Amino acid sequence: MPTTREAESLLNRLEQIYPDASCALVYSSAWQLLVATILSAQCTDKRVNLVTEDLFRQLPTPASLAAAEVAEVEELVHSAGFYHSKARHLQGCAQAILDRHAGEVPNQLCELVKLPGVGRKTANVVLGNIFNVPGMVVDTHVRRLSRRFGWTGKSEPVQIEKDLCLLLPASRWTQCGHTLIEHGRVCCKAPVPYCSQCPVIDLCPRIGVGKSH
């Protein structure tokens, strides 16, 4: 495992390269971001943004979504994939927010993860981007890069999140997720990263030029 100083040196370089890295989902409220993040499972952000444009226009609030016919919700989210389960999760989440939180998205991780369809990744996305509560988002990109960087040897997202939170100060958690995701999309791809084009190859402890993991 690298030291915090070594990890921050790499992260500093990446943040200079991707100064505008941010959440790619389009939203204007905590509810919209929560919905979009639930839909983003096994789906691109670009596709989610197309889906939510219609969804938020027709069913803009937790109350309207909870009251809708399930077939209507399934039709609206169909192109995001896994539409049966996603529609069920969205309606269950909407109803739980109405029943337990007076229609407002909670701002605590322990309450967010009790909502249908909401795991730690989704909860941390909402906490970090809406409520300015530090959250380490571990998606497929963060999982891949943190292992390649040697920041963790774990494979389970919860354990990776724990390792990264121990390695980096809380003030960096939210932006770290955005930055690693951007680098993962642009350069450090799966299954083979573009090591020969990587701007931080000299700081990467596990990948040499032309070598993939």
Entry field: residues in the chain? 213
Contact 58, 36 (CB under 8 A): no
Report the distance separating Cα 125 and Cα 23, nearest Å: 8
Catalytic residue among 20, 121, 154, 163: 121
Give the other-Cβ count within 10 Å of 120's Cβ.
18
Catalytic residue among 20, 46, 86, 139: 139
Contact 96, 115 (CB under 8 A): yes
Residue 31 CA: distances (Å) to CA of 93, 112, 115, 124, 147: 10, 12, 12, 14, 32
Query: 65 is written with which tokens?
Result: 């979504």
54 noted as active-site residue: no
Helices (H) and strands (E) in the chain, counts: 11, 0
Report the distance separating Cα 205 and Cα 213, nearest Å: 12
121 noted as active-site residue: yes
3-class DSSP state of 168: coil
Q: Report, as residue numbers or ranges, the catalytic residues.
A: 121, 139
